[in-house]
């Protein structure tokens, strides 16, 4: 069992790395306008490998662009590899089902999640980059990342002799649930969603300049059109279909979301300022990553979305989410419990509220 557990831990870590790679490949595919590099799914012009121009012309009237087609197919191959890895992880987990029933169920849930992501990948192509599906595809990728990361994080803290506690650790020493942590997590997920919506609607440079937008504090913005969540199905959404005012509204909302996230993180740090070193370090790590992300965002707008900075922007969002979830496992998800003071006067004041 110890050997099997070690393999599961190694596989789960590999799944985390591979999921992050698939996520970044997906972003790179979009940034290079290669999302429709192959007009069909799961093949490319009816083939498993990118064909030559003559073969492609026999399948579709859409001209073949080899670089974009290969970018799209590399992304698909990596995603398929993650699916195979998820199956292997499930098989190893099944070998431990006599010791832990939750382990294989969690692995099965991750496999189903990856399969669901495959479906969203298909719809991204067949619905021609429909913004709702593209945004959902990004969120699904991050959900897979956090799922595998959480699985790995829980497993690595378990001794082989205590494998039955993998999914059900003892929480009796923890305090009550910390609403501020969960609020911060919700704000972060909301901000990532806004980022995905900004990207899928090509609103990344709808605002030039910072902190002003197009040299105004509050420029003309069409929020109703910008957040119309059921745009027409059928048009090609490459480069977007929205008017400038609608894209400005989306971009402004993303900036406001960044401000709200910063406020939430400051409140969380203030709450945890007297917490254990490990917990406080988690908050500081999230704060540092957030600061780096703001710097990247500033230069991203100033330099009109250069490829590497745009890729780094997504990577930083994923790292912030992982760091916050890790902090939750280390104690942020629960209110800090004050340790009993050795000073009898302080102890009496705490007990009687003076």
Q: Which residues pair with 334 in a beta bridge?
A: 177
Task: State the maximum Cα–Cα separation within the chain, in Å, rounded to a whole number.
Answer: 87
Alpha-carbon gap, residue 200 to 213, rounded angstroms: 20
CB 291 within 8 A of CB 261: no
Other residues' Cβ atoms within 10 Å of the Cβ of residue 82 = 22
Give yes or no: 72 in active site: yes
Tell me the torsion sign for CA atoms 227, 233, 235, 237. Answer: positive
Contacts of 351 (CB under 8 A, 6+ apart): none
Active-site residue, from 2, 54, 72, 164: 72
The Cα 261–Cα 190 span in angstroms is 9
Closest CA to 118 of 135, 85, 139, 140: 140
User: Which of 93, 139, 94 has the alpha carbon at shortest distance from 116?
Assistant: 139
- Give the active site residues: 72
């Amino acid at each position: 069992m110890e050997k099997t557990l070690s393999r599961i831990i190694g596989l789960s870590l590999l799944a985390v790395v591979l999921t992050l790679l698939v996520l970044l490949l997906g972003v790179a595919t979009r940034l290079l306008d290669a999302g429709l590099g192959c007009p069909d799914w799961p093949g490319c012009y009816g083939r498993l490998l990118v064909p030559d121009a003559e073969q492609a012309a026999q399948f579709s009237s859409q001209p073949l662009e080899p670089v974009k087609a290969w970018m799209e197919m590399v992304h698909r191959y990596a995603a398929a590899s993650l699916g195979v890895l998820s199956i292997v992880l499930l098989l190893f987990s099944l070998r431990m089902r006599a010791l832990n029933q939750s382990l294989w169920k969690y692995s099965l849930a991750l496999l189903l999640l990856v399969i669901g992501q495959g479906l969203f990948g298909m719809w991204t192509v067949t619905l021609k980059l429909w913004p709702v599906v593209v945004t959902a595809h990004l969120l699904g990728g991050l959900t897979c990342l956090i799922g595998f990361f959480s699985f790995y994080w829980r497993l690595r803290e378990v001794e082989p002799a205590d494998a039955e506690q993998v999914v059900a650790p003892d929480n009796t020493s923890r305090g009550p649930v910390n609403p501020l942590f969960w609020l911060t997590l919700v704000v972060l997920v909301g901000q990532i969603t806004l980022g995905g919506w900004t990207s899928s609607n090509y609103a990344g440079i709808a605002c030039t300049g910072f902190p002003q937008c197009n040299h105004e504090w509050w420029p003309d913005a069409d929020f109703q059109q910008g957040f119309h969540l059921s745009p027409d199905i059928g048009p090609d959404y490459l480069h977007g279909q929205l008017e400038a005012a609608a894209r400005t509204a989306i971009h402004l909302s993303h900036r406001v979301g960044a401000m709200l996230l910063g406020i939430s993180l400051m409140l969380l740090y203030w709450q945890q300022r007297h917490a254990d070193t490990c917990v406080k370090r988690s908050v500081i790590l999230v704060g540092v990553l957030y600061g780096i992300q703001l710097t990247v965002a500033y230069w991203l707008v100033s330099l009109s979305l250069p490829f590497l900075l745009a890729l780094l922007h997504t990577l930083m969002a994923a790292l912030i989410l992982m760091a916050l979830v890790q902090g939750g496992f280390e104690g942020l998800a629960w209110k800090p419990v004050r340790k009993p003071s050795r000073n009898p006067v302080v102890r009496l004041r705490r007990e009687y509220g003076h």
